[in-house]
Amino acid sequence: MNPVHAEIITIGDEILYGQIIDTNSQWMSEALDEIGVRTIRKTTVGDNEKAIIAAFQEAFIRADLVLITGGLGPTHDDITKKALADYFDCPISINPQALAEIRVLFEKRGFILSETNKQQAALPEKCEMISNKNGSAPGMWFEQEGKVFVSMPGVPHEMKGLMKEAILPRIEKEFHTSPIFHKIIKTSGIGESWLADKIQPWVKKLPSHIKLAYLPGLGEVKLRLTASGKPQVQLESDIATQIEQLIPLAGKYIYGFDQDTLQKVIGQLMTAQGKSISVAESCSGGYVAHLITSIPGSSNYFKGGVVAYDDQIKIDVLGVKVQTLEDFGAVSEETVTEMAKNVRKRFKTDIGIAISGIAGPDGGTDEKPVGTIWITLADGHSLSTKKLTLGKLRDVNIKYSSNALLRMVWQTLIQNN
Amino acid sequence: MNPVHAEIITIGDEILYGQIIDTNSQWMSEALDEIGVRTIRKTTVGDNEKAIIAAFQEAFIRADLVLITGGLGPTHDDITKKALADYFDCPISINPQALAEIRVLFEKRGFILSETNKQQAALPEKCEMISNKNGSAPGMWFEQEGKVFVSMPGVPHEMKGLMKEAILPRIEKEFHTSPIFHKIIKTSGIGESWLADKIQPWVKKLPSHIKLAYLPGLGEVKLRLTASGKPQVQLESDIATQIEQLIPLAGKYIYGFDQDTLQKVIGQLMTAQGKSISVAESCSGGYVAHLITSIPGSSNYFKGGVVAYDDQIKIDVLGVKVQTLEDFGAVSEETVTEMAKNVRKRFKTDIGIAISGIAGPDGGTDEKPVGTIWITLADGHSLSTKKLTLGKLRDVNIKYSSNALLRMVWQTLIQNN
- Count of domains observed in chain B: 3
Q: Which of A353, A352, A329 has the alpha carbon at shortest distance from A404?
A: A353
| B417 pLDDT higher than 70 | no
| Nearest residue of B to residue A36, measured between CA atoms | B17
Can you tell me the mean pLDDT for B255-284? 97
Q: Do B309 and A286 count as a contact with CB atoms less than 8 A apart?
A: no
**278-317 of A, contacting B, C-beta below 8 A:** 279, 281, 284-290, 292-294, 296-299, 302-310, 312-313, 316-317
Q: Which of A78, A57, A82 has the alpha carbon at shortest distance from A144?
A: A57
- DSSP-assigned states of every residue in B37-81: EEEEEEEEE-S-HHHHHHHHHHHHHH-SEEEEES--SSSTT--HH
**343-402 of B, contacting A, C-beta below 8 A:** 346-348, 359-363, 389-396, 398
**99-128 of B, contacting A, C-beta below 8 A:** none
Distance CA A171, CA A151 (A): 14
- Out of A29, A293, A361, the one facing B17 most closely (by C-beta) is A29
Q: Do A157 and B393 count as a contact with CB atoms less than 8 A apart?
A: yes
How many contiguous H segments (helices) and E segments (strands) does chain A have? Answer: 16, 17
- Out of A43, A77, A348, the one facing B214 most closely (by C-beta) is A77
Q: DSSP letter for A349, please.
A: -
Q: What is the gyration radius of the CA atoms in chain A, in angstroms?
A: 26
Q: Does B18 touch chain A (CB under 8 A)?
A: yes
Share of chain B above pLDDT 70, in %: 98
Q: Do B182 and A19 count as a contact with CB atoms less than 8 A apart?
A: yes
**127-156 of B, contacting A, C-beta below 8 A:** none
Residues B354 and B404 placed together within one structural domain of the fold: yes
- Distance linking the first and last C-alpha atoms of chain B: 45
CA–CA min distance B123, chain A (Å) = 26
| CATH code of the domain in which B141 resides | 3.40.980.10
Can you tell me the mean pLDDT for A78-97? 94
> Which of A174, A202, A221 is the endpoint of a domain?
A174
Q: DSSP letter for B167, please.
A: I
Q: Does A24 touch chain B (CB under 8 A)?
A: no
Chain B residues closer than 8 Å to A297 by CB? 362
CA–CA min distance B93, chain A (Å) = 30
Distance CA B99, CA B123 (A): 10
Distance CA A104, CA A98 (A): 10
Q: Which pLDDT does position B44 carry in this prediction?
A: 97
Residues B30 and B72 placed together within one structural domain of the fold: yes
| β A92-94/B372-378 pair status | unpaired
pLDDT digits (tens, 9 = 90+) for A250-263: 999 999 999 899 99
ipTM of the complex: 0.80
Residues B292 and B375 placed together within one structural domain of the fold: yes
| Nearest residue of B to residue A395, measured between CA atoms | B294
| A372 pLDDT higher than 90 | yes
- Out of A134, A312, A363, the one facing B393 most closely (by C-beta) is A134
> Which of B257, B284, B310 is the endpoint of a domain?
B257
Q: pLDDT averaged over chain B?
A: 93
A237: exposed, middle or buried (Cβ count in 10 Å: 0-12, 13-18, 19+): middle
pLDDT digits (tens, 9 = 90+) for A172-221: 999 977 778 889 999 998 888 789 889 999 999 999 999 888 777 778 88
CA–CA min distance A51, chain B (Å) = 8
Work out the number of other CB atoms within 10 angstroms of the CB of residue B124: 22
> Which of A154, A174, A194 is the endpoint of a domain?
A174
Can you tell me the mean pLDDT for B171-198? 89
**Is residue B134 very low, low, confident or very high in pLDDT (cuts 50, 70, 90)?**
confident
CA–CA min distance B306, chain A (Å) = 4
Q: For residues B154 and B11, is the Cβ–Cβ distance under 8 A?
A: yes
**Is residue A224 very low, low, confident or very high in pLDDT (cuts 50, 70, 90)?**
confident
Can you tell me the mean pLDDT for B110-130? 88
Q: Do A17 and B29 count as a contact with CB atoms less than 8 A apart?
A: yes
Work out the number of other CB atoms within 10 angstroms of the CB of residue A245: 13
**Is residue A393 very low, low, confident or very high in pLDDT (cuts 50, 70, 90)?**
confident
**Residues with Cβ < 8 Å from A328, sequence gap 6 or more?**
A334, A335
Structural domain for A51, as ranges: 4-174
Q: Which pLDDT does position B228 carry in this prediction?
A: 87
Highest average pLDDT, of A101-105, B44-48, B169-173, B314-318, comes from B314-318
**35-74 of A, contacting B, C-beta below 8 A:** 38-47, 51, 55, 58, 73-74
CA quadruple A116, A137, A293, A30: dihedral sign = negative
Can you tell me the mean pLDDT for B379-403? 95
**Is residue A19 very low, low, confident or very high in pLDDT (cuts 50, 70, 90)?**
confident
**Is residue A229 very low, low, confident or very high in pLDDT (cuts 50, 70, 90)?**
confident
Q: Which pLDDT does position B73 carry in this prediction?
A: 67
Residues A237 and A129 placed together within one structural domain of the fold: no
Chain A residues closer than 8 Å to B398 by CB? 290, 293-294
**Is residue A135 very low, low, confident or very high in pLDDT (cuts 50, 70, 90)?**
confident
Distance CA B289, CA B402 (A): 9
Which of A111 and B196 is assigned the larger pLDDT?
Answer: B196
Q: Do A41 and B42 count as a contact with CB atoms less than 8 A apart?
A: no
Q: Which of B209, B207, B217 has the alpha carbon at shortest distance from B185?
A: B217
Chain B residues closer than 8 Å to A304 by CB? 306-310, 313, 317
| Nearest residue of B to residue A317, measured between CA atoms | B317
CA quadruple A278, A280, A281, A286: dihedral sign = positive
Chain A residues closer than 8 Å to B342 by CB? none
pLDDT digits (tens, 9 = 90+) for B357-388: 999 999 999 999 999 999 999 999 999 999 99
Distance CA A225, CA A78 (A): 40
Q: Do A286 and B293 count as a contact with CB atoms less than 8 A apart?
A: yes
Q: What are phi and psi of A114, to 5 degrees?
A: -90, 170
Residues A196 and A102 placed together within one structural domain of the fold: no
Q: Which pLDDT does position A270 carry in this prediction?
A: 97
Q: Do A42 and B41 count as a contact with CB atoms less than 8 A apart?
A: no
pTM for this predicted structure = 0.80
Q: Do A22 and B22 count as a contact with CB atoms less than 8 A apart?
A: yes
| B76 pLDDT higher than 60 | no
Distance CA B301, CA B278 (A): 9
Residues A332 and A359 placed together within one structural domain of the fold: yes
Q: Which pLDDT does position B52 carry in this prediction?
A: 96
Q: DSSP letter for A3, please.
A: P
Distance CA A280, CA B286 (A): 11
Work out the number of other CB atoms within 10 angstroms of the CB of residue B279: 33
Residues A50 and A35 placed together within one structural domain of the fold: yes
Chain A residues closer than 8 Å to B23 by CB? 21
Chain A residues closer than 8 Å to B182 by CB? 17, 19
Distance CA B109, CA B73 (A): 18
Residues B54 and B129 placed together within one structural domain of the fold: yes
Q: For residues B380 and B199, is the Cβ–Cβ distance under 8 A?
A: no
**239-268 of A, contacting B, C-beta below 8 A:** none
| B140 pLDDT higher than 60 | yes
| Cα separations in angstroms, A88 against A60, A125, B51 | 12, 9, 26
CA–CA min distance A200, chain B (Å) = 20
Residues B313 and B199 placed together within one structural domain of the fold: no
Can you tell me the mean pLDDT for A38-63? 96
Distance CA A136, CA A98 (A): 8
pLDDT digits (tens, 9 = 90+) for B8-28: 999 988 899 888 889 999 999
**Is residue A71 very low, low, confident or very high in pLDDT (cuts 50, 70, 90)?**
confident
| CATH code of the domain in which B392 resides | 3.90.950.20
Q: Which pLDDT does position B328 carry in this prediction?
A: 97
Highest average pLDDT, of A15-24, A347-356, B193-202, comes from A347-356
Q: Which pLDDT does position A76 carry in this prediction?
A: 61
Residues B170 and B22 placed together within one structural domain of the fold: yes
Q: Which pLDDT does position B114 carry in this prediction?
A: 79
Q: Do A116 and B193 count as a contact with CB atoms less than 8 A apart?
A: yes
Q: Do B313 and A304 count as a contact with CB atoms less than 8 A apart?
A: yes
H-only helix segments in A251-371? 262-273, 287-293, 311-316, 322-328, 333-346
Residues B330 and B364 placed together within one structural domain of the fold: yes
**Is residue B74 very low, low, confident or very high in pLDDT (cuts 50, 70, 90)?**
low
| CATH code of the domain in which B220 resides | 3.30.70.2860
Q: What are phi and psi of A353, to 5 degrees?
A: -125, 155
Q: Which pLDDT does position B267 carry in this prediction?
A: 98
**Residues with Cβ < 8 Å from B410, sequence gap 6 or more?**
B188, B255, B262, B265, B266, B269
Q: For residues A280 and A308, is the Cβ–Cβ distance under 8 A?
A: yes
Q: Do B298 and A285 count as a contact with CB atoms less than 8 A apart?
A: yes
Q: Which of A5, A9, A15, A17 to mutate to test the interface with B (most CBs of B within 10 A)?
A: A17
Q: Do B17 and A40 count as a contact with CB atoms less than 8 A apart?
A: no
Q: DSSP letter for B165, please.
A: I
| Nearest residue of A to residue B318, measured between CA atoms | A317
Residues A153 and A248 placed together within one structural domain of the fold: no
Q: Which pLDDT does position A118 carry in this prediction?
A: 87
CA–CA min distance A117, chain B (Å) = 7
Q: Does A97 touch chain B (CB under 8 A)?
A: no
pLDDT digits (tens, 9 = 90+) for A155-168: 999 999 999 999 99
**172-211 of A, contacting B, C-beta below 8 A:** none
Can you tell me the mean pLDDT for A368-391? 95
